[in-house]
Amino acid sequence: MTASPAGSAPAQATRPRLSPLTWLAAAGSTAVITTAAASWPLSAAVVAACLGLSLAGGTARRVLPASAAVLVPLGLSLLVLHGLFFPEGRTVLAAWGPARITAEGLDFTGQRILLLAAVVMVLLLFSFTVSLPDLVAALSARGVQGRFAFVLASTLTLLPAIAERARRIREAQEARGLVVSRGLLSRAAAFRLQAVPLVLSLIEDAGTRAAALEARGLSSPGPRTSYREVPDSGVQRTARVVLVLAALAAVVLRLVQAGAGC
């Protein structure tokens, strides 16, 4: 055997990677800070960053359909709730009896949808990027045992299945004669018919996965031995502390502003 030249595949294999705990801290703190700030420029920046990272990491084909499956029905519900029945709306654009489309309501709806898109895309990008075995091993190595790691693992395994499950439910209902027109009421009725079986199937799937994970001892207490090496460094540990503190500071600042009536 000959020695591998510099810059070959073995050399790239030893390149340090981000710890799954760093990914978790980055995704969680970003979601918390974005929610606490409730600023549409920040939400737009987070959405743009998620799009860029998903394209660079090759996960865009999975992140975008899953995000659409979550955001489209939620966005329609927000549009109906706030776009048509916004109590603080003053600039009326159109009205049908008690329903009024106001500029203030549309602005509020757009900001909330953008905020929701940022949080959903951050969490989905994390779920499609992180290595679940590495995450569980890293949590166990730091004393996070039993139920928390068990629930986290079973939840993350469900996220990639949402878009595919929603597509299958929609196709099955369309095969049974469901017709969705362009009207808002028709789309709302179709959303209800698709959301109920989707949630029920996810709950059933979560129970099946939970039983399988528990049968493999993931929720068992006591000392553990891991044969999986997870990369980490002092720089990453410091970065995680900074991210957590930044998220806490954003929440405290938001509470102070709310108390002051800002």
| pLDDT, tens only, 66-115 | 888 788 888 888 887 777 777 776 777 776 767 777 778 888 888 889 99
> Measured between alpha carbons, how far is 162 from 62 in angstroms, rounded to an integer?
10
Backbone dihedral region for residue 199 (phi beyond 0: left; psi -120 to 50: alpha; all else: beta):
alpha
pTM of the shown model = 0.66
| pLDDT, tens only, 19-68 | 888 888 999 999 999 999 888 899 999 999 999 999 998 888 888 888 88
Predicted confidence band at 133 (pLDDT cuts at 50, 70, 90)? Answer: confident
C-alpha distance across the termini of the chain, in Å = 69
> Measured between alpha carbons, how far is 101 from 79 in angstroms, rounded to an integer?
10
10 Å Cβ neighbour count for 18?
15
- Contacts of residue 235, defined as CB under 8 A and 6 or more positions apart, other chains included, come to none
